Amino acid sequence: MAAATIRVMGRICAFALALAAPAVQALDAVEFQVATEDAALTRALQSASILLAAERNGQTEAQDILSDGRAEYAALLNALYARGHYSAVIHVYADGREVATIPPLDAPSRIDRVRVTVDPGPRFALSRATLRPLPSRPNLPEGFRIGAPAESGVIIAAAGAGVDGWRAQGNAKAKVAAQDIVADHARATLSADIQIAPGPVLRFGRPAITGQDRMRENRIRKIAGLPEGQRFDPAELDRAANRLRRTGVFKSVTLAEDETISPPDYLGITATLVEQKPRRYSLGAELGSLDGLTLSGSWLHRNLMGGAERLELGAEISNIGSGRSGVDYSLGAKLDRPATFTPDTSLGLAFDIGHLDEADFTADLASATVTLSHVFSDSLTGRAGLSHSHAAITDEVGDFTYRNLALPLGLMWDRRDSNTDAKRGFLIDAEVKPFLGFGITDNGLRAKLDLRGYRALGAEERLVLAARLQAGAIYGASLLGTPRDDLFYSGGAGTVRGQPYQSLGIPLTRGLIDTTIGANHFLAGSIEARVKVTESLGVVGFIDVGRIDVGGIFTDTGDWHAGAGLGIRYATGVGPLRLDVAGPVGGTTGDGVQIYLGLGQAF
C-alpha cells in the first residue's frame, strides 16, 4: 500500500478476491476499531483481520507485524466489498505510524502497539444488475437484482452462474467476456453489467486415457461412460469421474477438458489416473462384556482381471467368551464387477457359509447370491438379487432343515455428510425379500427398514443429536415355517445396548419343552447426544428401546426392553474409537452392566 488512506472511488473494473494470509503467530496488543453499529459487520472484519489472528497466536517480531499490517488493508477491503461497502477508509498504525508509509528497509526493530481503524462508509445498493446473454436456465443468485445490497460475492456468483448455465446447455467454452462495474459514491450505488461469450455448442470427443497401469483401457471407457458424440454436459463429466472413483481402483482421478476444439465440434477429454495398490488387508475387533469378542478380517483385490473386478474374502468369529451363547463364525467370498449392462450398474456374486450357536438353537448356514446394484445418484442406490439359502437347525425339540429361494430388493438413500461420524443428514435403507420355501419352509416375505437422522447444533457444531429407528416384519410364513436366522431378536450392540445379545425372544412351548424363538415383528429406536469436548475427544449419552411381537406390532404376545448409558469417542483417521457402558432401564431381560468397544459410531 502506497498511501495511508485507502478510498474506493470512481470506476471499478474487477473485484479482488480475498488474499490468503500466511500462517502467523500473534501480537501482544492490537486495538481494533470499527465506526459502525452493525455488529455483524464488525465480527466479519475481525474475522478477516490478519493482525488479530497474529495477536491470538502470540506473534511479536516487528518484521512479521509490518508484513501482516501491509496485508491487513487488502484483507479488510475484501471483507468490506463482500458486504457492499465501497467507500471505506482503513488505517493501520504501528506505534502511531501508518504502516503503509513505513519503508521496508527502514522498519523499526520493535513494535509495542498496533491500532486498526475502519470507517466502512455507506452500504451500496445495486442500481443495475444485468447479465447477457442469459442461458435458458440462468439460476442467478437471488441478491443479483436492482435495489439489493451490492455485495461483491453476489456479483461474482452471478457471473459464475451465467457461465455454468451456458455450459449446461453444451457451450463448453463459455466465459465472461467483459464486466462493466461502476460505483457511484454520491448515491451509494453500484452498477453491474456482465457480458458472457457463450461460444459454440460442442460434443464429447473420444476420451484420452493416461496413467493407468493394470487397468484395461476399454474397461476404463466403459466404467466412465462418457457419451461420445453427444452434446457436452458438465454433469456427465462429474458422473464419469465419480464412477471411476467408486471402483476403488484409483487413488486419483482427473478429467480435464482440452483447450482446443477438434473439428467440427468435438471437445476432447483427458482422463489422468493414478492407481491404488491392488490389494488391501483389514482387521477388526469389537468387544461386549456379555456379547463377547468379535474378530473379523478381510482380503481385497481391487482389480482382479484388469477390469476393476473386486474380489473380497472375509471371515468373522463372534461371541467369543459370550455369557449367553456359543461361538459363531462365518466365511464369505464376494466378487463385484462395475459397469455391467450400464456404467452405473454393478454385478455381484456372493457365497457364504457359517455356524450359529445361539441361546435357543444352533445352525449351519450356506447361501449363494447374485445381485445387481444400480447407482441412481450420489445418494440413491438400488439393488435386486436372487439367492438360495440352506440352514440346518438344531434346537431342544430336534433337527430341522430350511431351504428357500429369495428375491431381495433394496433401496438406500444416504444423505449423511460422513459414513463413520455423521453430523447432519439422514439415511434410509429399506429391503423387501419375498421367499419361496421348500420342505418345511413356508412361502413369505421379509421386510426391514433402517432410518437414521443427524443434526448438529451450535455455531461450532459441538453437539450432535442422532436418532435411529429400526423395524422388521415377516408376512405369509408361520413362525415355525420361517428360517430361524430370518426371525427377529432384540438386545445387544446393534439393537438395545445395556441388554444382553438377542436376549429378547418369544417364549414357545413345543410338546413338553419350553424354549425361546425369534419374532416375526420387530421395532427398535435409539437416541444419542454426542458432545465434542476437544478436537479428538467426545462424550455420548444414549437410550435404546426394542420390542418384538408375533402377528403384528404391540400385540399381547409381544414384549419390550430398554437400555441406557454413556460413552466416550476418540477420533482416529478411520473413524471414532467407541467405548460405551450401558445398563438395563426397562424390561425383564437385564443382566447387569454391559460394555461395548468398537470402531465408528454405534450408528
Q: What is the mean pLDDT of residues 187-199?
A: 97
DSSP character at residue 100: G
Helices (H) and strands (E) in the chain, counts: 6, 31
Q: Are 131 and 140 in contact (CB under 8 A)?
A: yes
Cell numbers at residue 82, please? 463482500
> What angle, 0 to 180 degrees and rounded to 10, lies between the N-to-C axes of helices 152-168 and 234-246?
90
Task: Name the residue with higher pLDDT: 359 or 167.
Answer: 167
Average pLDDT, the chain: 91
Q: What is the mean pLDDT of residues 25-29?
A: 53
pLDDT at 7 over 80: no
Q: Are 274 and 250 in contact (CB under 8 A)?
A: yes
Which stretch of 23-37, 169-183, 367-381, 441-455 has the lowest confidence by average pLDDT? Answer: 23-37
What does the pLDDT look like over 68-78, one tens digit per residue? Answer: 999 999 999 99
What does the pLDDT look like over 493-507, one tens digit per residue? Answer: 899 999 988 899 998
Percent of the chain with pLDDT over 70: 95
Count the Cβ atoms, other than its own, within 10 Å of residue 281: 8
Q: How confident is the model at residue 516 (pLDDT cuts 50, 70, 90)?
A: confident
Q: How confident is the model at residue 197 (pLDDT cuts 50, 70, 90)?
A: very high
pLDDT at 38 over 90: yes
| Closest C-alpha to 288, from 496, 100, 480 | 496
What does the pLDDT look like over 275-331, one tens digit per residue? Answer: 999 999 998 888 877 778 899 999 999 999 999 999 999 999 998 887 677 899 999
What does the pLDDT look like over 524-571, one tens digit per residue? Answer: 999 999 999 998 999 999 999 999 999 898 998 899 999 999 999 999
- Cα dihedral angle (590, 595, 600, 602), rounded to 10 degrees? 10
Q: Are 271 and 285 in contact (CB under 8 A)?
A: no
Q: What is the pLDDT of residue 28?
A: 61
pLDDT at 21 over 80: no
Query: Can you list the alpha helix ranges (DSSP code H) found in 83-124?
Result: none
Distance CA 178, CA 186 (A): 25
Task: Name the residue with higher pLDDT: 395 or 274.
Answer: 274
Q: What is the mean pLDDT of residues 395-400?
A: 83
Query: What burial class does residue 412 get, using C-beta atoms within 10 Å of its C-beta: 0-12 exposed, 13-18 middle, 19+ buried?
Result: middle
**Long-range contact pairs involving 174-180 (C-beta distance under 8 Å, separation at least 24):** 174/198, 174/199, 175/199, 179/13, 179/14
Phi, psi of 596 (to 5 degrees): -130, 135
